[in-house]
Each structure stands twice: as C-alpha cells, then as structure tokens.
Amino acid sequence: MGFLKKLFGKKGGDGEDKWNLMWQMWENGEIDSPYNELLTYDSEMQEGGHLQFFLNRALRRENIFSVMAALRETLPAGHADNLSQAYRQYCLLDIDPDDDGAVMQALGDDPLSPFDCYYAEHEEELLDVLEAFAATL
C-alpha cells in the first residue's frame, strides 16, 4: 500500500498536485530543513535503505548529528527510534565510505536490513507526515 500511495500520490485534485509539487521542490533544492532531510531520508530508503543513507551522508561529509536532529523533529517516534538504532549499528560497522571494497561488501551483507524492514512495515506513518507537509505547500 505505501509504495503505491507514494508512486501515484493521492488521486484527484489538490492532494496529488501538492504531493508532486513537494517532490519537485525537493529535487530543485527548494525545501528547507527539517523536511529536506526527511524527504532525502525517505528517498534514499526507497533506493538502498539505511546503509545507503548513512554512507551518502558520510561521502558528502555532512554533519550527521544535525541531520539526525532534523529527522527527530519530523519522524514519527517509532521511526526516530529505529533510525537511532540503525545509526548505532552503522557506527559499529566502522565502514570507510572511501573504501569501495568495504562499501560493496557491506552493501552485499545488508547488515541494517532489520531496520529497513521496520521502515517498510511502518511506512504508512511516514507517508502521513509527508502528506501533511505537502498539504501546507
């Protein structure tokens, strides 16, 4: 249900238009924090899960603590806890994001899959937050 809802948005009228507008604004870099981080998180979860999300933050040399703080502002409580646990596990992996071999090994092992599963099982809660934000545009 969540994937189809995200793919097609709300059918008919203003809800769908605002949903599409939100994603277009995000792609154009026109969404401010903390929703920029939330949309980035959601997008990367769809592409490759928590591991990709954390590796991309490291590769871009982003301040992960400010990213995590922004996400805690917007994520539903269960998602925020799941993200924190995923980050703790990611830190224990001690992956050098500049070591392609280590990254490929980690991607193959998929060590953060339990956290990705939680995200997928509770995606509807996150979609509700995104829809509420889209409605404000």
Omega within 30 of 0 (cis) for the link into 34: yes
Is 40 in contact with 33 (CB distance < 8 Å)? no
Does this model's pTM top 0.75? yes
Low-confidence ranges of the chain (pLDDT < 50): 1-5, 7-11
The pLDDT mean for the chain works out to 90
The reported pLDDT for the residue numbered 105 is 92
Residue 13, pLDDT score: 57
pLDDT tens string 24-53: 999 999 999 999 999 999 999 999 899 999
pLDDT reported for residue 107:
87
Locate 3 and state its tokens.
Answer: 């994937």
pLDDT value, residue 14: 65
E strand or H helix that includes residue 49? helix 35-59
What's residue 119's pLDDT? 97
